[in-house]
Structure 1
Amino acid sequence: MRILLLSHSFNNLTQRLHVELCERSHEVSVELDIHPDVTRESVALYRPDLVIAPFLKRAIPDDVWRGVRCLVVHPGPPGDRGPAALDWAILEGVAEWGVTVLQADGEFDAGPIWVHRTFPMRRAAKSSIYRNEVTSCAVEAVLEAIAAIEAGHEAPASMASDDPRIRVRGPCRQADRAIDWHHDTTVEVLRKIDSADGVPGLTDSLFWQDVRLFDAHEAHGISGVPGTVVAQCDGALARATIDGAVWIGHVRSVGPKSLKLPATKIFASEAAHLPHRPGCGYGPIEYREHCEVGELQFNFYNGAMSSDDCNALLSAYRTALARATKVLLLTGGRDYWSNGIHLAEIEAADSAADESWRNINAIDDLARAIIETTDRLVVSVVRGNAGAGGVFLSLAADEVWASDRTVLNPHYKDMGNLYGSEYWTYLLPRRAGAANAAKITQCRLPMGVAEAGRLGIVDRVLTARGAATDDLVKLAAALASDPDYAARLVDKQRRRAADEAEKPLDAYRNEELRRMRLNFYGFDPSYHVARYNFIHKVPKSRTPLTIANHRSRRERARPTCMAVRS
């Protein structure tokens, strides 16, 4: 089928659908919902068989859904209607939630229901549940709906107006989830912050300053006067509740152009006087050992790795290497493995260029340490999404294991034609070949693990169950006990020595950083403009041609300026 994805942004769900539909040989193009007239134009240009709207903030124009079948993904069960479905579900502490794929008609969220899925709710931030449970159920439901349409099934009937499941709710506003620190329990505080995590964040105050709160976790074994800030750890602040405390990992000041940053960086002087309480429920880096298998787990918020994060992870990595293990798992978080350098901290620095340079060198140091590890096998376990430098950092390991739900974005160019480093010019061609390496970094499209496996940048695909820690440890233990383990290490050491003799790692790094220095300090400000627009969520004025196939074809058909002049 020829399918147009119409979405407010090219978010995680839209990317995952793009990957899954292309993998099934559908012809797919994307249009960002910039203006109703732009939507009409895209439908006229592309003439799709089907429009799928994974993420919209307004209704599809009447003339569009009357002219072509439009399926809308709603992050709620049948009958739930309104723009804040998941917010309310988390805030109310429901045990089960769902996703509905319905056909657009004249009433918002009320068209014929093609498919729905349910899932058990877990205690997590809204952004995490959306990125995992909602996205997985939405993909399954959309594929089932497409199969029914291809089989010639008629649209189901709409729900009756008196159906008891119908529940219409408006936006979830700040007043609906305001925290009362003198009466709310830890569970209630977590629900309120979780319900707003991602967008818009929960409005509150810290040290008499209005802020938005994000990245909340229970603080184990910590208590104090309710409402007071009582401890700090790894960038987070612990604030007491009536029955314990919660960690606030990230905050953003209320006001224009403010940035979401680690709480202790926003309140550095106040945090300096607080006791440091590690191991109490907040810590982005943890090491565990399972006999001959070491597991270094890291979970940085939104996958961004600042200079300090990279240095801390490098220190933890070196400590892990001092242990007598045969396999070391580098296990990323459930939401993200890594998205590379920390653009928000770079944006907040006195000199964005200087901090960019510091950050890229810090992540390069980490990548090099992994590449030069020759006394054991190292495995990157990519359970969440990865982008830009995070993808190439994973390739520094001997093997890459990735969840079948993972979306990779192995390119930098959308960030103002950033060249990239992390030794990608060494790592990527070695795995994918020179021709494929060029295609991967130039195409600027999301990639699923099936394609990544065919290209050689993923070695093992993990199912949802196979990504559980116990199963990962069993797989790693099997590597450690393999009769060919010793021979494999010898081959690894031989190859590393041969590669270094042919072209030293320093040469790759210097060549990459020479290009990166131009991105950071050169006359072309594209990187700095793109970073600013990304961090401050500046709306796009047009859909990028890399994803809008219906527009890129038209652009290629236009005469060049020189041809017009001639």
Structure 2
Amino acid sequence: MRILLLAHSFNSLTQRLWVELSERGHDVSCEFDVNDAVTIQAVELARPDVVIAPFLKRAIPEAVWKNHLCLVVHPGPVGDRGPAALDWAILEGKESWGVTVLQAKAEMDAGPVWASRSFPLRHASKSSLYRNEVADAAVSAVLEALEKTEGARPAATTWKPAMKQADRAIRWNQDDTATVLAKIRSADGTPGLLDEIGAKPVYLHDAHAANGLSGPPGSLIAQSGGAVARATVDGAVWIGHLRAREEHALKLPALAVLGPLELPETPGYHDIWYDERHGVGYLHFPFVNGAMSTERCERLREAFLAAAQRPTKVIVLMGGPDFWSNGIHLCTIETAASPAAESWCNINAMNDLCRDIITCGSHLTIAAMQGNAGAGGVFMALAADLVLARDAVVLNPHYKGMGNLYGSEYWTYLLPRRCGEDKAREVVEARLPVGTAEAERLGLIDSHFGTTVAEFRTLVEQTAEAHAADPTLDERLIAKRLARAADEAAKPLDSYRAEELEHMKLNFYGFDPSYHVARYNFIHKVPKSRTPLYLARHRRK
């Protein structure tokens, strides 16, 4: 079936549908909905059997939906209508929610329903729910809709308007912790919840309950790992990240936005932790947006080296439930006094971490990808001995989309040994998302399993403990050290790194500003003026 994905941008849900539909043999192309004329032209060129709209910010042109079957993915249950479905569901404390696939008609979100799915509404941020439960439900519903030949009758609907900041404004002298968390999570990650801290207007992100803390409602009472704790009427919340209400301001750790504060340092907020069970060490690093700044790389490297000193034989690198890693931190780079210099520091810190994982001869290392991974994060995973991924994970194993960035993290060593030289070059040049089935065929991962994060974690633990109990593990570790020594003799890791960094130096400091322009456009969400040809396959014909 010829399918045209019509989307505002190539976001996580659009990527997931691209992967799932392509894996099932459909001829998939994508067009960014820039304006009516572009969309109409795209449909004329693609001649699709169906147009699927997973992420739009405006109505599909009448000339398109009147003449073609257009299925809209709405992140709400049957009957829900409006542009802020998930925001309202979180704010109103719904226990369950859903996704509806409906046919585009003149009235927004009111066409015939073709398929729907429901799920329990987990206590989490909007962006986390969108990447996980919403994406899973959307894929299932879209696949059902594609199997049907005619739609159902329109259902009774309830319109919900776009959510305003006033709808979720925090009343610190009245709201309890659960209410504050729901309000912040309903806006996280876009646009964030507008508030004030010390008369400074800021958007709040990355909120968690601060168990055991309390104080005058609304006051800042503690700090931990770059986060600040703010009191509610019955406790407190950690606020990990803020974005100043200023032009071009970016989401950064709270203390980086507020500056140094005279607050007590209190344990409670952490983005790296280690636990150990049955001879296996588990290293967690659920960094916001999977972004790894210089400082985060250095702290994670210290944690990994400490884990390698433990009397265990297996280390599992867990990442986080939303992202495993997306490589260098573009926001901290953008806000640095010299973005080029900070890019250089960041990539070297990533390389130092990757090198320690590659050369760890004392343990079997496992990368357990609970969530998506991109760019250098994918290649950091390949530094481990075994790479496991949850079924629904999407990988973007390339750098080219960021202004033709060459990339490092020893990918020129890690990727060919897994995929072969020809496939390695094909992977980094493709610029396309890769699902776990394709990733396993390519050799990027060793196995994929688990529908939910909880199921995946359970199976990872069983796998890791089985390796730890394997009586031949010591022999396997000896073989690992010998293989690494042979590779080092053939070509030292330092040589791979130096060659990669020569290219990266040109990206960061050279005359071509493509990387700096692409980084700026990406983090400031500047809409693309056209769809790249590697996505708009209909425009290549």
Structure 1 residue 511 corresponds to structure 2 residue 502: no
2:196 pairs with 1:200:
no
Q: Which residue of 1 aligns with 2:13?
A: 13
Percent of aligned pairs with the same residue?
Answer: 59
| Equivalent in the alignment of 1:561 | none
Alignment equivalent of 2:538, drawn from 550, 558, 564: 550
The alpha carbon displacement at 1:457 in A equals 1.0
Letter in 2 for 1:56: L
* 8 A contact 1:15–1:446 mirrored in 2: yes
Equivalence map 1:82-97=2 (5 Å): 82-97=82-97
Task: Pick one of 521, 527, 530 that aligns with 2:509.
Answer: 521
Q: Tell me, what secondary structure is at the counterpart of 1:146? A: helix
Of 478, 490, 494, the match for 1:490? 478
> How far does residue 384 in structure 1 lie from its aligned partner after superposition?
0.3
The answer to whether 1:453 aligns with 2:449 is: no
2:460 matched to which residue of 1?
472
Question: Which ranges of 4 or more aligned residues in structure 1 deviate by more than 4 Å?
Answer: 465-468
Q: Deviations over 1:238-260 (max 9, x none)?
A: 11111111111111111211111
Give, in whole Å, the separation in 1 of the partners of 2:147 and 2:320.
33
Moved more, 227-236 or 4-13: 227-236
Q: Deviations over 1:399-437 (max 9, x none)?
A: 000011000000001000000000000000010000000
What's the counterpart of residue 156 of structure 1?
152
**Per-residue CA shift, 1:285-306, capped at 9, x if unaligned?**
0100002111001100000000
Corresponding residue to 2:520 among 515, 526, 532: 532
Q: Which amino acid aligns with 1:362?
A: A
Inter-partner Cα distance in structure 2 for 1:371 and 1:538? 37
Alignment of 1:233-248 (within 5 A): 233-248=224-239
Structure 2 counterpart of 1:214, from 205, 208, 232: 205
Is the CA contact (8 Å cut-off) linking 1:383 and 1:467 kept in structure 2? no
CA deviation string 1:1-51 (max 9, x = no partner): 000000011000000000001101100000011101110000011111110
3-state DSSP class of the match of 1:529?
A: helix
How many residues align? The count is 540
Give the alignment partner of residue 410 of structure 2, picking from 394, 401, 423.
Answer: 423
Match of 2:221 in 1: 230
1:214 and 1:251 in contact (8 A); partners too: yes
Matches within 5 A, 1:289-304: 289-304=276-291
Q: Does 1:126 align with 2:115?
A: no
Does residue 1:407 correspond to 2:403, yes or no?
Answer: no
In 2, distance between residues paired with 1:432 and 1:537?
Answer: 33
Shift of 1:207: 1.8
Structure 2 counterpart of 1:396 = 383
The DSSP-based 3-state class of the residue aligned with 2:71 is strand
Partner of 2:265: 276
Query: How far did residue 464 of structure 1 move?
Result: 2.2
| Counterpart-to-counterpart distance in 2, 1:473 and 1:443 | 33
- For 1:276 and 1:378, the matched residues in 2 are separated by 33
Q: How is 1:82-121 mapped onto 2 (pairs within 5 angstroms)?
A: 82-121=82-121
Q: For residues 275-354 of structure 1, what are the structure 2 equivalents within 5 Å?
A: 275-278=264-267, 280=268, 282-354=269-341
Distance 1:260 1:408 in 2: 23
Which residue of structure 2 aligns with residue 65 of structure 1? Answer: 65
1:562 maps to none
Amino acid corresponding to residue 108 of structure 2 in structure 1 = F
Give the corresponding residue for 1:54.
54
Q: Report the counterpart of residue 431 of structure 2 in structure 1.
A: 444
Q: Distance in 1 between matches of 2:282 and 2:259?
A: 31
Asked if residue 186 in structure 1 is aligned to residue 177 in structure 2, the reply is: yes
1:211 partner SS: strand
The alpha carbon displacement at 1:467 in A equals: 4.3
- Secondary structure in 2 aligned to 1:196? coil
2: CA distance, partners of 1:367 / 1:420: 13
Q: Using the TM superposition, give the Cα deviation of residue 59 of structure 1 relative to its aligned residue in structure 2, in angstroms.
A: 1.0
SS, match of residue 108 in structure 1: coil
CA distance in 1, matches of 2:512, 2:67: 44
State the Cα deviation string for residues 324-364 of structure 1 (Å, max 9, x = none): 11111000111100000000000000000010000000010
| Aligned-pair CA distance for 1:486 | 2.3
Task: Note if contact 2:449-2:456 (Cα within 8 Å) is conserved in structure 1.
Answer: no
Q: Does the 8 A contact of 2:450 with 2:459 survive in 1? A: no
* 2:450–2:456 Cα contact (<8 Å) kept: no
Give the Cα–Cα distance (whole angstroms) in 2 for the partners of residues 470 and 61 of structure 1.
Answer: 46
Q: How much does 1:470 deviate?
A: 3.5
Q: Identify the match of residue 240 of structure 2 among 230, 246, 249.
A: 249
2:357 pairs with one of 359, 363, 370: 370
State the shift of 1:468 in Å: 4.2
Q: Aligned partners of 2:291 and 2:403: how far apart in 1?
A: 18
Of the three residues 367, 381, 384, the one matched with 1:380 is 367
Any conservation in 1 of the 2:220–2:228 contact (CA below 8 Å)? Answer: yes
Matched to 2:205, the amino acid is: F
Distance 1:85 1:181 in 2: 25
Q: What is the CA–CA distance in structure 2 between the aligned matches of 1:220 and 1:521, rounded to whole Å?
A: 46
1:310 maps to a residue whose letter is C
> Contact (CA 8 Å) 2:399, 2:407: kept in 1 or not?
yes
Distance 1:439 1:468, change over 3 A: closer
1:63 to partner: Cα distance = 1.2
Distance in 2, Cα, partners of 1:544 & 1:418: 16
CA contact (8 A) 1:100 1:138 kept: yes
Residue type of the partner of 2:353? L
Deviation at 1:483, TM superposition (A): 3.5
Distance in 1 (CA, whole Å) between partners of 2:233 and 2:126 is: 24
State how far apart, in whole Å, the 1-side matches of 2:458 and 2:47 are: 48
TM-superposed CA distance for 1:473, in Å, is 1.6
Q: Deviations over 1:199-246 (max 9, x none)?
A: 111000112100111111111111111111111111211111111111
Distance 2:311 2:455 in 1: 24
1:491 partner letter: A
- What is the RMSD computed on CA atoms of the aligned residues? 1.0
Q: Give CA-to-partner distance per residue, 1:61-107, whole Å, 9 cap, x none.
A: 11101111000000000110111110000000000000000011111
How far 1:269 moved relative to its partner? Answer: 2.1
Letter in 2 for 1:283: H
Indicate yes or no: 2:128 matched with 1:139: no
Give ranges in structure 1 of 5+ residues lacking alignment.
Answer: 554-566
Hey, what does 2:253 align to over in structure 1? 262
